[in-house]
């Protein structure tokens, strides 16, 4: 009978071969959103579907399941090996609930939906996207039923992004967060509005690109282990910790569009580059959850990238690229402008406070779509109603309204809440790292390295070893506490809006 060591080697080799297939699919998906010629859409969808189906077939083989169960009963594995096997067995049992045929069908539907979304944005017409999205949602409902749930089908989908996350937990969180944010926003409305006009001048596309690349370098994004490109909607993907790709988009009339896209995606990318290389293809080489992943992007974007120390230390760089646009602006004025609180149409452009209402709107719509109380044809009207209710905004068209996010075209239902939850984790992590090292109050390049080092030591190196709450407790000494976020934004915006 093979020894536990030989069985574990067999397990590891199997998972790494499956990872090779999954990452090959990821390469094709990255190319699809960056460089794929339009006429290649159909065949690309077929190729991705074949790879996804193949990976699922390999992972759910009875022989592999038997190997996992055999290993799960062994006592003489290391702690890390046992945890890998335990998590893989959980993944195996969950994946067995989906058939290879269903996985392929879902992949094909996502491909069709994504390209319909691209066309819909170009034509500024939700009608172009409506039917492919409807078909995709029907599959997501089937997926929820296959995976199983106790109280609500949406729980099954949320669990895919953060294990154990449910609408009950999220509703309670949002019910607590909403009035506190509203109170702070109402207080800000009584104060003189800050000036941000200097952010909406003409900013040359090439200069913006070079500036964004320099900011990523100063965050210590490793360009020998990654790259940046342009896409319709910014995203991060990886094929291993040594090949992590980010994308951005550029608006020559809006400085913030690209800048905070680079910083946000850079936060995601640093996490991926920091995952254990030795655990390639294994659970301990994967990120903890999407809530934790979003905590990394939101931490860099808001706690660091929108801080005064960061821009005091990077203001000379800013002026070197845009001397005319910011010649008369001080670092303090710039800091105030980039933190202006004002309801807006677009989630990715929103300030730290109103941002969460954008998330809540999408969360409410997704629940209704999955439970069947909202039809896809009614999305634009429902979207526009909620923007009026939550943000007092009139939505002028579909492109700036319900077509602004790529997530639904990817079938990522259950994802949006992780943005807000990630923001709460981010504030808590940031508070903890400041307590650990007072030098982190700065924003200099070497300080960015200290920030990265703290994250490597407290977040990155653990992979999927812990749940979100367990990791938070290990890093900060307590489970998620939204008061850290409330304290962060209250102090910050009370200082800005005096």
Question: pLDDT tens for residues 176-205?
Answer: 999 999 999 999 999 999 999 999 999 999
Please compute, for residue 257, the number of CA atoms within 13 A of its CA located in the half-sphere on the CB side.
21
The per-residue pLDDT for range 139-181, each reduced to its tens digit, is 999 999 999 999 999 999 999 999 999 999 999 999 999 999 9
Residues contacting 401, CB < 8 A, separation 6+: 345, 380, 383, 384, 387, 395
pLDDT mean over 372-382? 98
Q: With a cut of 70, say whether residue 444 has pLDDT above it.
A: no
pLDDT mean over 407-431? 98
pLDDT mean over 220-241? 97
pLDDT mean over 299-306? 97
Residues contacting 9, CB < 8 A, separation 6+: none
Q: Which of 263, 267, 237 is nearest to 33 (CA)?
A: 237
- What residues are paired with 230 via a beta bridge? 248
Q: With a cut of 60, say whether residue 105 has pLDDT above it.
A: yes
- What residues are paired with 245 via a beta bridge? 227, 237
pLDDT mean over 291-314? 96
> What local confidence, expressed as pLDDT, does residue 2 receive?
87
The per-residue pLDDT for range 239-276, each reduced to its tens digit, is 999 999 999 999 999 999 999 999 999 999 999 999 99
Token pair listed for 220: 């210590």
Tell me the pLDDT of the chain averaged across its residues: 96
Q: What is the CA radius of gyration of the chain?
A: 23
Q: With a cut of 80, say whether residue 439 has pLDDT above it.
A: no
Residues contacting 473, CB < 8 A, separation 6+: 479
Q: With a cut of 70, say whether residue 445 has pLDDT above it.
A: no
Cβ contact 287:237 at 8 Å: no
267 three-state secondary structure = helix
> What local confidence, expressed as pLDDT, does residue 437 receive?
84
Q: With a cut of 80, say whether residue 442 has pLDDT above it.
A: no
Give the whole-angstrom CA distance, residue 416 versus residue 356: 10
The per-residue pLDDT for range 461-488, each reduced to its tens digit, is 999 999 999 999 999 999 999 999 999 9
Catalytic residues: 265
pTM: 0.96
Give the whole-angstrom CA distance, residue 18 versus residue 61: 12
> What local confidence, expressed as pLDDT, does residue 443 receive?
53
Higher pLDDT, 442 or 19: 19
Alpha helices in 190-289 (DSSP H): 205-218, 255-274
C-alpha 353, offset from chain centre: 18
Give the whole-angstrom CA distance, residue 283 versus residue 462: 10
């Amino acid at each position: 009978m093979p020894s536990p060591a030989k069985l574990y080697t067999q397990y590891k080799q199997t998972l790494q071969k499956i990872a090779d297939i999954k990452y090959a699919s990821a390469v094709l998906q990255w190319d699809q959103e960056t460089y794929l010629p339009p006429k290649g859409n159909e065949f690309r969808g077929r190729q991705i579907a074949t790879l996804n189906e193949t990976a699922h077939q390999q992972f759910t083989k009875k022989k592999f399941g038997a190997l996992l169960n055999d290993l799960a009963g062994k006592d003489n594995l290391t702690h890390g090996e046992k945890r890998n096997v335990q998590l893989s067995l959980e993944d195996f049992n969950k994946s067995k609930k989906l058939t290879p045929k269903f996985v392929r069908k879902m992949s094909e539907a996502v491909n069709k939906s994504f390209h319909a979304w691209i066309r819909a944005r170009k034509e500024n017409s939700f009608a172009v996207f409506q039917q492919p999205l409807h078909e995709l949602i029907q599959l997501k409902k089937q997926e929820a039923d296959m995976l199983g749930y106790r109280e609500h089908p949406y729980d099954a989908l949320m669990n895919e992004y953060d294990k154990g996350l449910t609408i009950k937990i999220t509703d309670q969180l949002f019910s607590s967060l909403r009035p506190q944010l509203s109170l702070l926003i109402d207080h800000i409305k009584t104060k003189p509005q800050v000036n941000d006009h200097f952010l909406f001048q003409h900013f040359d596309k090439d200069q913006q690109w070079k500036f964004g690349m320099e900011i990523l370098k100063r965050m210590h994004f490793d360009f020998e282990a990654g790259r940046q490109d342009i896409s319709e909607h910014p995203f991060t993907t990886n094929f291993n910790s040594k090949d992590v790709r980010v994308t951005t988009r550029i608006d020559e009339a809006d400085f913030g569009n690209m800048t905070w896209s680079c910083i946000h995606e850079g936060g995601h990318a640093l996490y991926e580059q920091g995952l254990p290389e030795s655990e390639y293809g294994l659970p301990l080489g994967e990120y903890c959850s999407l809530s934790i992943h979003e905590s990394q992007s939101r931490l860099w974007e808001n706690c660091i990238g929108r801080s005064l120390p960061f821009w005091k230390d990077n203001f000379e760089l800013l002026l070197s690229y845009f001397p005319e646009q910011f010649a008369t602006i001080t670092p303090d004025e710039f800091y105030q402008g980039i933190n202006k609180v004002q309801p807006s149409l677009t989630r990715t452009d929103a300030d730290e406070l109103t941002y969460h209402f954008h998330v809540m709107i999408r969360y409410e719509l997704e629940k209704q779509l999955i439970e069947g109380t909202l039809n896809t044809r009614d999305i634009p009207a429902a979207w526009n109603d909620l923007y009026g209710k939550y943000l007092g905004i009139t939505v002028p068209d579909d492109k700036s309204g319900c077509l602004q996010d790529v997530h639904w075209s990817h079938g990522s239902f259950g994802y949006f809440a992780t943005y807000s939850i990630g923001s709460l984790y981010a504030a808590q992590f940031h508070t903890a790292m400041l307590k650990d090292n007072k030098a982190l109050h700065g924003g200099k390049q070497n300080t960015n390295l200290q920030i990265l080092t703290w994250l490597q030591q407290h977040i990155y190196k653990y992979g999927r070893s812990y749940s979100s709450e367990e990791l938070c407790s290990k890093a900060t000494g307590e489970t998620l506490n939204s008061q850290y976020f409330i304290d962060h934004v209250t102090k910050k915006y009370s200082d800005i809006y005096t």
